[in-house]
Amino acid sequence: METTLSDILQDIRSIYYYAPLAIKVAIIFIIVAVSATVLAYLVMLRSRYRNYRQQRRMARMLPKIDELLMNEIIANPNIPHDVAPSKVALDLEPFDELPLHKRWGREMLTERIIHYRNNVSGTAGDLLRNLYLQLDLDKDAMRKLKSRHWNKKVEALNEFTLMDMPIADVTILPLANSRNRELRAAARQAYIKLSKNEPFKFFDSVTDPLLPWDQVELYRIITTTTDIAIPNFARWITYSSNKSVVSFCMKLVVHYNQLAAVPAIIKLLENRDHTLRAEAIEALGRLKIAEVEDRLVHLYTSQPLFCQIAILKALGRIRSGRHIDFLRNEFLHSTDFDLRKAAARAIVKNEIMAREVIDELLATTTGENLLILKHCMNPLIKY
Amino acid sequence: MNSVQEILSAFYDSAIFVYGLTLIVVYGVLAVLSIIAIRRYLNATRPSQLENLMSSPLAPGISILAPAYNEGLTIIANVRSLLTLNYPKYEIVLINDGSTDDSLEQLINEFDMVAVDFAYHEKIRSKPVRAIYKSRNQAYSNLLVIDKVNGKSKADAVNAGINAAAFDYFVCTDVDCVLHKDTLLELIKPVMQEGGKRVIAIGATLRIANSSEFDEGVMTRMRPPRALLPRFQEVEYIRSFVLGKMGWSAINCVPNVSGGLGLFDREIVIKSGGYDHKSFGEDMELLTRMCGFCEDNKIPYSVRYIPKTLCWTEGPSSLKVFGRQRTRWARGLAQLMYAHKSIFLRPRYGRLGLVVFPYNFFFELLAPVIEASGIIIYLWLGLTGNVNWPYAILLLIFVYTYAIMISTLSILWDQLSFHYYKSVKEVLSLLIMPFLEFLLYHPLITFYSLKGYLFFLTNRRSSWGNMQRQGFRKAKTTT
Amino acid sequence: MSKILLVEDDEVMPKIIARILPPPEYEVDIAVNGKEAIQKLEANHYQYDLLITDIMMPYANGFEILSKVKSHEREKPIPVIIVSNAGNEDMIMEGFKLGVDDFLKKPIIPAELVIRVKRLLMRNK
């Protein structure tokens, strides 16, 4: 008897047909599992091959790119010094040897230029940007910005931000209110970096919280962009109903030592939100506003623990030496370990004025309190 | 007699089938969820991000807690590698848990350390601290060494570290684990990106270090283990982290953050009472209590995982040590389930009570029991001639192929995202493991789990056999 | 000729610095991590005129190298410039406590680096 493939299939079909449900399910799952496994192998091979190809291309291209960037841009003696770097007409001919007609070639060069710009700024940085423009490398990012996929848009926005490429407000602003968090964050960074009119405008309208991560990225962009006009942050500290914006603005006030915004921060001491109040206390301490010390000491007893610690730390930072008795009292009589430690640290920070008190405490306290004091006085211990 | 057999057959035809099917569906769902979570992670990852955090004054401080017991062989190299992690604001708290070797002397000499008057406040109880050391060299100013009386457990040592830690977050690791240089940046990033919820713990993928190359505590070449037993573990780790934990992370139901590497919210840990030194699975036990604490206090929380490998740990390479490790883990699980049975299926405990606990009870705790009893009953049915062999074999093939698929998929997810390992050959050496696992590795795990349960039931005292470390010796002299 | 040791784990930075500090005036020796840096220092008996280093690097961070260089007995310690993107305040303070002579934040302005290098070399002549 001759069995053909169709006979076998017929057999399988009949086994399947008469089998109980459990077996039917099992047969289906076997087929699914085997094909999924085979598929997984194929996908893996493909992905490894692509990765390998990319690695090989990079190994070949990067030395060439480096050589060109070095000779033509970074250390090119022929670049005129009397022309603004963004106006210099660069000799593009040597770059013809790169496969810039291929997208991967352009991407690789762009990435490398960005890498260089992370390392050098000034004239060299401007020249690199000039090269990026003259080689039309921005066209790819332009296309990505119009892509339907949000992650492509994010890539484009990042590239523009890093390359300092102006984009029209009308293009970015809708993205800055996108429902996608990543896209929203990238658009806000791009807006601050690239908008020529009012880079901080979106602070007015932002309703979702600026996550700590967003704050890190924004903070970096704001504090490293040189030609940005810094507004008076008191405007948002006073009027914004978004707590994260208020808190972020306080950090910026501290960074810029913006004393004009101090009254707005002082008003926050009456705020009902504990976290915000603690942040306001911290900001005042960092700004060394000696005038609020009395106020802080007055507030002290009515505060929750972490605000009390913030107050003690602030007194340590302000270092006026006017409230050493208060600190001494807290150090000796507070029941909470963390409070005593914060008080001791504040006393030690006021060392110049508190010399006598410290000596007295060293001589009279014992046990844990003495240990705390020594801990805070030891220069080897940082925290 | 016949009727008993019929009932048993019927039971195994229906109940066990439903059980198996549920498990299979769960794994299928996890596979889908994990790839979604991994893609989300990769989409939100750009190379410049870590650099930005690296230079930011807004980066939150992190304390690294590394307990060490008789690790003299490697301790200096490993502390050095911790000292070179990329992060702008961190401290290393090394806890010398009453080592009987010269670990402490080595540390004191190498890093120029002196005992200091340190205001140590015991927020969580631990065995007494003998002394605390700091370096006189400014270059090591973020190193702190605690010398304490041996507490016979990692839990006790870490608790002492938590008490001395200065920052709001701590990373718990083993001193013999080798960390990726961006570990701190990678772990804190998702914490800072989470809106609305408080991330109380976060972990990352762990891998087996056995055949990888290390040079003074720095990973230089990643390679799958050559020996069979560690290689099984590598595949198991990839499946459990990249597919399992990532899948659970997508729906905020991570059951455990591994003791090898995890970042925790210090305040929540302290309020939950710290690690339990009596537990055999102290990492999972703590996380359960932390989640319970948050549910009790209505704190919206989340526990996350990231797919990137940040930590390499030495996997046991002898059957004896491996058996001891797995017996201990199983015992820990049984202990945990029993101690926290009040959480089980209680709607008040939200996802913890309704998803995490039932899953772990039915599919982690009971699985070995059901498997073992299933085999016995099948054998009995087989001997008395009551098995439909073609169907039985078909079911077996079904389980076998499905298991292979799940493991292969997890290796695929890992490969697609990170292209680990140098050659296709190395990847293939991992890919054959799923075919063997079912026959060689899985029975072992089932056996050791049952042994662990037995120890739990009989409450046997166990010697704390410290794992025999081979130690990451210095890189073989480069040729 | 001034002999400079550059410690940097990024691959682009050494290329740039080697180009802006060219021979015969300068000789730039490159170490790609902390271990290599210490090996080079010891192999050359600390005979360098200047050290340029990053902070975060594998094996030994910049501060460790810095403290090694500054504690090494020589009639004049090697001047040190830190070039790093990790420029938060605490780190800068820590660097100065350890005796760093100059601190440049990435991205650097090449011409500025050249001037600072020249000034430090002059001062130590």
Contacts of B13 in chain A (CB under 8 A): 20, 22
Nearest-Cα residue of chain B relative to residue C69: B139
Least confident of A14-23, A113-122, A223-232, B123-132: A14-23
Q: Which chains touch A (3 or more CB pairs under 8 A)?
A: B, C
Report CA-CA distances (Å) from B236 to A174, B44, B472, C85. 46, 27, 22, 39
* Whether A37 and B405 lie within 8 Å, measured CB to CB: yes
The distance of C85 to chain A (nearest Cα, Å) reads 9
DSSP for A12-66, please give it: HHHHHHHS-HHHHHHHHHHHHHHHHHHHHHHHHHHHHHHHHHHHHHHHHHHHHHH
Q: Show residues of chain C in contact with A70, CB under 8 Å.
A: 15-16, 19
**B32, B185, B405: best mutation site toward chain A, by most A Cβ within 10 Å?**
B405
Would you call B138 and C89 a contact, using CB atoms and an 8 Å cutoff?
no
Note the pLDDT tens digit of each residue in A317-367.
999 989 999 999 999 999 999 999 999 999 999 988 889 999 999 999 999
Confidence of residue B462 (pLDDT cuts 50, 70, 90): low
- The pLDDT of residue A3 is 67
Residue A26 in tokens: 């099992």
**Res B2: pLDDT:** 62
Interchain proximity C109–A70, CB inside 8 Å: no
Least Cα distance to B260 among B188, B331, B183 occurs for B183
Burial of A291 (0-12, 13-18, 19+ CB in 10 A): exposed
Note whether C85 contacts A: Cβ–Cβ < 8 A: yes
**Straight-line distance from the first to the last Cα atom of chain C, in angstroms, rounded to the nearest whole number:** 12
> Of B282, B466, B403, B290, which Cα lies nearest the Cα of B24?
B403
Tell me the chain A residues in contact with residue C16 when contact means C-beta distances shorter than 8 Å. 70, 74, 116, 119-120
The pLDDT assigned to A18 comes to: 81
pLDDT band, very low/low/confident/very high, at B414 (cuts 50, 70, 90): very high
Closest partner residue to A372 (CB to CB) among B21, B119, B431 is B119
Taking only residues 4 to 63 of chain C, the set having a beta carbon closer than 8 angstroms to any beta carbon of chain B reads 34-35, 56-61, 63
Q: For position B463, what pLDDT does the model report?
A: 47
Tell me what pLDDT residue C59 has.
79
Residue C69 Cα distances to A134, C4, C27, C40, C119, angstroms: 45, 13, 19, 12, 19
**What's the pLDDT tens digit per position in A333-345?**
999 999 999 999 9
- Phi, psi at residue A64, to the nearest 5°? -65, -50
Tell me the average pLDDT across B384-404: 87
**Alpha-helix runs per DSSP H in chain A:** 5-18, 21-68, 103-119, 122-134, 138-145, 150-163, 169-176, 181-194, 202-205, 212-224, 234-239, 243-256, 262-267, 274-286, 293-299, 305-318, 324-333, 337-349, 351-364, 367-377
Q: How confident is the model at residue A2 (pLDDT cuts 50, 70, 90)?
A: low
Average pLDDT over residues B377-386: 84
Residue A111, chain B, CB below 8 Å: the answer is no
Nearest CA in chain A to C13: A119
Could you say which residues from 51 to 80 on chain B have a Cβ atom under 8 Å away from some Cβ of chain A?
51-53, 55-61
Bond before C107 cis per omega within 30 degrees: yes
Over 50: is that where the pLDDT of C57 sits? yes
Please name the chains neighbouring C, where neighbouring means 3+ C-beta pairs under 8 angstroms: A, B
Check: complex ipTM more than 0.90: yes
User: B 357-416 residues with CB below 8 A of A?
Assistant: 391, 394-395, 397-398, 401-402, 404-405, 408-409, 411-412, 415-416
8 Å CB contact between C106 and B51: no
Alpha carbon of C65: minimum distance to chain B alpha carbons (Å): 8
> In this model, does residue A12 exceed pLDDT 80?
no
Q: How far apart are CA B441 and CA B236, in angstroms?
A: 10
Question: Could you tell me which residue, B171 or A75, shows the higher pLDDT?
Answer: B171
Mutate to test the interface with B, among A179, A184, A216, A279 (most CBs of B within 10 A): A216
Look up the pTM and report it. Answer: 0.93
pLDDT reading at C87 higher than 70:
no
Mean pLDDT value of segment A162-180: 88
The helix/strand/coil state of C84 is: strand
Q: How far apart are CA B258 and CA B64, in angstroms?
A: 15
Nearest chain A alpha carbon to C97: A379
Please tell me the predicted confidence (pLDDT) of residue B471: 40
* B58 to chain C: closest CA residue: C88
User: Are B116 and B107 spatial neighbours (Cβ–Cβ below 8 Å)?
Assistant: no
Question: Chains near B, with 3+ CB pairs < 8 A?
Answer: A, C
**Per the CB < 8 Å rule, is B52 touching A216?**
yes
Q: Given B51, B83, B89, which is nearest C90 (Cβ)?
A: B89
Chain A residues with CB inside 8 Å of B267's CB?
Answer: none
Angle, in degrees to the nearest 10, between helices B389-418 and B228-238: 80
Q: Do the strands C2-7 and B178-179 form a parallel or antiparallel pair, or are they unpaired?
A: unpaired
Judged by CB atoms closer than 8 Å, whether chains meet at C10 and A124 is answered as no
* pLDDT value at residue B192: 95
Best mutation target, A12, A25, A29, A335, to test chain B (most B CBs within 10 A): A29
Cα of B58 to nearest chain A Cα, Å = 6
Spell out the residues 6+ positions from residue B346 whose beta carbon is closer than 8 angstroms to its own.
B353
The per-residue pLDDT for range B212-224, each reduced to its tens digit, is 998 888 888 999 9
Number of H helices, E strands in chain C: 5, 5
Rounded CA gap, B207 and B313, in Å? 6
What's the whole-number average pLDDT of chain B?
Answer: 90
Q: Which residues from C are below 8 Å from B218, CB to CB? A: 58-59
User: Do B187 and B251 form a contact (C-beta atoms < 8 A)?
Assistant: no
Pairwise CA distance, residues A152 & B335, whole Å: 49
Structure-block tokens of residue B121? 């406040």
How big, in percent rounded to 5, are the helix, strand and coil portions of chain C?
A: 40, 20, 40
Contact A48 B419 (CB under 8 A): yes
**pLDDT tier, B466 (very low <50, low <70, confident <90, very high otherwise):** very low
Q: What is the pLDDT of residues B21-60, one digit of tens each?
A: 899 999 999 999 999 999 999 988 887 888 889 888 999 9
Please name the residue of chain C whose CA is at the shortest distance from the CA of residue B79. C59
| pLDDT > 70: percent of chain B | 94
Residue C16 CB partners (closer than 8 Å, separation 6+): A70, A74, A116, A119, A120, C110
CB contact under 8 A, B411 and A44: yes
Domains and their CATH numbers in chain A? 259-383 (1.25.10.10)
Task: Give the pLDDT score at B479.
Answer: 29
**Which of B62, B69, B67 lies closest to B142 in space, CA to CA?**
B62
For chain C, list the domains and their CATH numbers. Answer: 2-123 (3.40.50.2300)
d(CA A297, CA A312): 9
Structure tokens at A4: 């053909």
Of C34, C66, C97, which is closest to B84 when you measure between CB atoms? C34
C-beta separation of B354 from B347 below 8 A: yes
